[in-house]
Amino acid sequence: MSLTSSRPRVARAASRPSSAGRLQAWLPRLVLAPSVAISLFFVYGFMLWTFILSLTNSRLLPSYEFVGFGQYARLMANERWWVASTNLMIFGGLFVLICLALGAFLAILLDQRIRQEGALRTIYLYPMALSFIVTGVVWKWLLNPGLGIQAMVRSWGFESFTFDWLVNPDMAVYTLVIAAVWQASGFVMALFLAGLRGIDDSIIKAAQLDGASLPRIYLRVVVPCLRPVVFSAVMILAHIAIKSFDLVVALTGGGPGYASDLPATFMYAHAFTRAQIGLGSASAMLMLGGVLAILIPYLYSELRGRKHG
Amino acid sequence: MDNVIRRRTPAARLWRVALYAVLVVAALFYLLPLVVMVITSVKPLDEISAGSLLSLPMNPTLAPWTKAWGEACTGMRCEGVGGYFINSIAIVVPAVLISTLIGALNGYALTKWRFKGSELLFALMLFGCFIPFQVVLLPMAQTLGWLGISSSRAGLILVHVVFGIAFTTLFFRNFYVAIPTELVSAAKLDGAGFFRIFWRILLPVSAPIIVVSVIWQFTQIWNDFLFGVAFSAHDTQPVTVALNNLVNTSTGVREYNVDMAAAMIAALPTLLVYVLAGKYFVRGLTAGSVKG
C-alpha cells in the first residue's frame, strides 16, 4: 500500500464536509474517550468509592451504613496504625536520605573519567530491575542470623558479632531500609549522573580559571545546578516509600509481631484478611493524603517554575 | 575538568587509586546479594548448613532449580513455580501490548490533534501515575466481581492495562511532542486521516519510545505483587506471589537453595531485559520522573 495510490479517495472524502469529515474531526476525541472514561471511573471513581467505604461500618463485606468519620477516629486510636505510620516516617526518611547521599556520591565518583564506567553503572543499577519480592527474599536470607551475614562473620573468628535486626522488633524496620536502599540507590545515581552530564562544562572551566578548588566547585556550582534532579529524586523515592508493600511482605512479613508494619501492609491486612473494610479504606485514604501532600507542592513549584522560565 | 585529571602527581595518583577502590567496594555491595543467590541456588542443602554464605559449592547441582520449577510447595500445592511463571507470561504479554498501543494512540491524539481541553484531559489521566494503589483495591475487587472476571488472568490483564495507560500515555505524549508538527500538518492538508498519519508518519519513528514503553510495562507488570496477590486465585497467581508463598511455606526442612533458585527464576526475565536493553530501561525510569 503506497501513499499515492489511495490519495484520490482520501482527497474526495475531505473535499465534501460530510459525515466522514466530521468523523475525522471527532476521531482524536473518540480515541481518547475510552482512556478518559477509564481514568474517571477506575481512578477518580474508585477514590471516591474508597472514601465512601471509609465512612461506613463495612467489615467483611461493603455495607453502606454510614458512621461519619468513626473509622478515622478508630484509626487514630489504633496502636498498630501508629506503629505503621511511625515506621513509614523512619523508613521513608532514612530511605530517601541514604539513597540521595549514596546516589550523589557514586555519581560524582563515576563522573571522574572512570574506566569501565559502563560496567560499573550496570552493576549499580541492576537491582532496580528486580521485583521487591525477589529483593526481600534475598535479603531475608542474607540477614538470617543463623545462616546469613552474622553466621559468616562469626565463622571468620568474630564470635561475638551480632547482626540480628531481622528478628529484633526494635531494628526490623531498618532491614527494610537496607534492602530498599540496595534496590533504589543505583537509580538515584543514574539520575544524578545524567544531571551532572547535563551541566555546561564552560561554567566549571570558568570556576577553575578563577582558582576554585574541586570540592568548592561541586558545592557552589554543581550542587545548585542539580536542584531539579534532587527534587524529582525525592519525589520518586518518597512515592516508592509510601507504596512499599511487597518488600515488607517478603522481608519481614511486617514482623516480628507488627513491629515493621507500614501503612500499605496495614491497609491490606485490615481490608483483605481481617475483615475490616471500613478501617482499611480509611487507612487507604490517609495514604492518598500522604501522596498528595508531597505531590501538590511538587506540581505547584513545577508549574510556577515553568511560567517563570 | 581535564587538567585536574591529567596532572599525574603522586597525590593525584593516590587519589585515583582511592577512587577506584571506593567504586569497586560499592560494586561488591550491589553484587553480593546476586552472587549469594546464585551460589546458594546450586548448593546441596548440607553444604549450606555446613559452609558459609560465600563458600563456593563443592558439588554444584541443578536439583534446586528443577525442584523450584516443578515440585516445590507453594502453599497447599507442590507443583513448583513453573506454572505461575507461565501465568505471569500470559498476563504480561497482552497487558503490555494493549497498554502500549493505547498509550501510543493517546500520545498521538494529545500532541498532533490538540483540541480545547486536551491538555486538561492529559493532566487528568496523569494523576493515575501517582495514586497509591491501596486506594483502588477494594472497589476494583468488587468491579472485577461484577464483570465476572475476578481471580482470573483476564481480570489481572484488565487491572494492569487500566493502571498502565497513565504511564504509557505520558511516555508517548512526551516523545511525540518533540516531533515537528509540519509533516503532520502537510499530511492533514493532503487530506490524510487520523490513523493514516499515525501509521505512515508517527509510527515509523516511534521505535525508541515503543521499546521504552514495552520495557517499562514489562518490568512493572512482571514485578507486580500487590494486584497479583489481591486479585488472583490459586491457579492464576503470577510468579511473584508464588515465590512469596514458596518462601513462606513452612512444611518440613527449609530448603534455602530451592528458595534462591525460585527467586532467580522470578528475577531472570527482568534481569535479562535489563542486561539486553539497559539503556532503554534507564530512559523509561527517568521519563517516568521527568514530566512533560
Pairwise CA distance, residues A141 & B40, whole Å: 10
Within a domain: B74? no
Percent of chain B topping pLDDT 90: 40
Point out which residues pair with B77 in neighbouring strands: B74
Q: Work out the pLDDT band at B292, boundaries 50, 70, 90.
A: very low
pLDDT of residue A265: 92
Q: Write the burial class of residue B48 (CB in 10 Å: 0-12 exposed, 13-18 middle, 19+ buried).
A: buried
ipTM of the complex: 0.88
Flag whether pLDDT at A134 surpasses 80: yes
Nearest CA-CA partner of B41 in B19, B79, B69: B69
Q: Tell me how far CA of residue B31 lies from CA of A127, A183, B27, B47, B172, in angstroms.
A: 9, 11, 6, 22, 34
Report which secondary-structure segment, H or E, holds A296. helix A277-308
Q: Work out the pLDDT band at A222, boundaries 50, 70, 90.
A: confident
Within a domain: B75? no
3-class secondary-structure state, position B77: strand
Within a domain: B102? yes
> Is residue B91 within 8 Å of residue B227, measured between CB atoms?
no
Flag whether pLDDT at A206 surpasses 90: no
**pLDDT averaged over every residue in chain A:** 84
pLDDT of residue B6: 54
Together in a domain, B53 and B177 = no
Together in a domain, B100 and B23 = no
Together in a domain, B7 and B110 = no
Partner residue opposite B193 with nearest CB, options A24, A141, A208:
A24
Together in a domain, B150 and B100 = yes
Flag whether pLDDT at A4 surpasses 50: no
Together in a domain, B120 and B6 = no
Domain of residue B274: give its range: 82-289
Q: Tell me how far CA of residue B160 lies from CA of A57, B130, B200, B228, B275, in angstroms.
A: 30, 15, 29, 10, 24
Percent of chain B topping pLDDT 70: 93
Pairwise CA distance, residues A276 & A57, whole Å: 9
Residue A264 C-alpha cell reads as: 500499605
CA distance B100 to chain A (A): 12
What single letter denotes the amino acid at residue B180? P
Report yes or no on whether pTM surpasses 0.90: no
Q: Mark B65-93 as b/e (b = at least 16 C-beta within 10 Å).
A: bebbbeebbbeeeeebbbbbbebbebbbe
Pairwise CA distance, residues B281 & B292, whole Å: 19
CA distance B236 to chain A (A): 18
pLDDT of residue A96: 95
What single letter denotes the amino acid at residue A135? T
Residue B75 C-alpha cell reads as: 502453599
pLDDT of residue A15: 47
Q: Which residues are CB-contacts of B275 (< 8 A; sequence separation ≥ 6)?
A: A122, A126
Within a domain: B106? yes
Cβ-Cβ contacts under 8 Å, A134 against chain B: 240, 243, 263, 266-267
Point out which residues pair with A234 in neighbouring strands: none
pLDDT of residue B290: 45
- Residue ranges of domains in chain A: 7-54, 77-308
List alpha helices for chain B, DSSP H.
Answer: 2-6, 10-41, 45-50, 63-70, 82-112, 118-126, 134-146, 153-176, 182-189, 194-197, 207-223, 226-230, 239-248, 256-289
Within a domain: B99? yes
Cβ-Cβ contacts under 8 Å, A242 against chain B: 132
Together in a domain, B197 and B251 = yes
Q: Is A261 left (phi over 0), alpha (psi -120 to 50) or beta?
A: beta
A269-283 pLDDT, tens per residue?
988 888 888 899 999
Q: Do B225 and A133 touch (CB under 8 A)?
A: yes
- List, as ranges, residues 118-157 from A with C-beta within 8 Å of B: 120, 122-135, 137-142, 147-149, 151-152, 155
Partner residue opposite A152 with nearest CB, options B22, B52, B267:
B52
Pairwise CA distance, residues A161 & A220, whole Å: 42
- List, as ranges, residues 223-262 from B with C-beta within 8 Å of A: 223-226, 229-230, 240, 243-244, 247-248, 256, 259-260
CATH number reported for the structural domain that contains residue B148 in this entry: 1.10.3720.10
Flag whether pLDDT at A5 surpasses 50: no
C-alpha A180: how far from chain center = 10
Together in a domain, B93 and B130 = yes
> Is residue B158 within 8 Å of residue B145, measured between CB atoms?
no
A48-76 pLDDT, tens per residue?
999 998 988 887 787 777 888 888 988 88
Nearest CA-CA partner of B36 in B60, B55, B63: B55
Comparing alpha-carbon positions, the chain B residue that sits nearest to A148 is B53
Q: Work out the pLDDT band at A147, boundaries 50, 70, 90.
A: confident
Among the listed ranges A134-143, A205-214, A289-298, B253-262, which one has the minimum average pLDDT value?
A205-214
pLDDT of residue A307: 52
Within a domain: B68? no
pLDDT of residue A67: 83
Residue A114 C-alpha cell reads as: 572512570
pLDDT of residue B144: 93
B82-110 pLDDT, tens per residue?
889 999 999 999 999 999 999 999 999 99
User: Domain tally for chain B?
Assistant: 2
Flag whether pLDDT at B139 surpasses 90: yes
Q: Work out the pLDDT band at A3, boundaries 50, 70, 90.
A: very low
Together in a domain, B59 and B105 = no
> Is residue B1 within 8 Å of residue A199, measured between CB atoms?
no
At the topology level, CATH places domain A77-308 in MetI-like fold (1.10.3720)
Within a domain: B73? no
Pairwise CA distance, residues B212 & B265, whole Å: 23
A150-204 pLDDT, tens per residue?
888 888 888 788 888 888 888 889 999 999 999 999 989 988 888 888 887 788 7
Within a domain: B77? no
Flag whether pLDDT at A6 surpasses 80: no
> Is residue A153 within 8 Å of residue A175, measured between CB atoms?
no
Q: Do A3 and B200 touch (CB under 8 A)?
A: yes
Comparing alpha-carbon positions, the chain A residue that sits nearest to B260 is A138
Together in a domain, B59 and B86 = no
For range B52-74, the mean pLDDT: 84
